[in-house]
Amino acid sequence: MTSVPRVETLFHYCPTSTFHSIIQNSSIWLSSLSLSNDRLEGRLISKALGKLAQRDDVTPDRIAQLEAEIRNIEDTYDGLGFCLSEDGDLLSQWRAYAADASGLSIGFDRGYLERAVGDAEGPEYRHLALDKVVYSEPEHLTLLEDMYQRVRGRYREAGSSAAAEADAAPWIAAGAADDQGWMRDIADPLYWELFRFIPTLYLLKSAAFREEREWRLHTIRTRGITGAYAHRPDRNRLVPYLKFLLAPECQPITTVVLGPKHTSDPIDVGAFLRTHGFNRVDVVRSEASYQ
């Protein structure tokens, strides 16, 4: 079997103003993923878990209960992410994310990002990870299989007898104290089994987006919590985000690609990078002839 070469550079497409801010402030922003241009962001996991339950001949009403609990999670938690691509010169990316090709794509060293994830401190970064997005339904099911089986095991443990197992739906806790459901009780170990799904919510995307070959530097937050989170304006709304600092001396950026409509001289872009400590960065022009 031929091994897949490791991807060493991951690219972020952005308008020129965003590029300027990233370099000048030595930081990137992990923004709310639920407010992206994909209306199904964070909403595919319940469908995938339903497929796994159907495979195991779980009854439709119990599948509906599982999906309802997952929707509660989707409504409670938000993903924050910084989106990257394996391809630094893709026309669809230029048009969608770089001000109709007038911006730039920034090539980040994957090794640097992986080390930075391990070194990040603070409760807001506790679930920080760098992961590849998965697009096909079989990949979705494979990604969720182990967690799904752990949750099934926990539900079985919740029924202390065969009668209890028969009477109580295995996807919800028997004897919930109130109509809010056991999932609200963070002392319940079953809650923490479902909690395992949360970081995965924003790694599943429709196959229609597969061309983007996306990776994400991402974490999660509880909606409405303040902490170290901030907000930025975006047309008709405020977008929550989390700042992630870069260390220029560690060479986090290896390449910058100027978009097809970007008119800066590469020499000037290189000088701007060096002024802010980003040295030895290759600045090149896009090969796309888009006008």
The pair phi, psi for residue 264, each rounded to 5°, is -65, 150
163 or 203, which is more confident: 203
What pLDDT, on a 0 to 100 scale, did the predictor assign at position 167?
39
Q: 0.85 exceeded by the pTM?
A: no
The predicted pLDDT at position 184 comes to 46
Q: How confident is the model at residue 70, as a pLDDT?
A: 77
pLDDT (tens digit, 9 = 90+) per residue, 12-26? 999 999 999 999 999
- Report the pLDDT averaged over residues 275-285: 98
Boundaries of every domain in the chain: 9-285
Highest-confidence segment of 12-26, 46-60, 196-210: 12-26
For 60-107, the pLDDT digits (tens) are 877 777 777 777 877 888 889 999 999 999 999 999 999 999 999 999
39: pLDDT confidence band, cut at 50, 70 and 90?
A: low
pLDDT at 192: 65
CA distance 239 to 174: 38
The whole-chain average pLDDT of the chain stands at 83
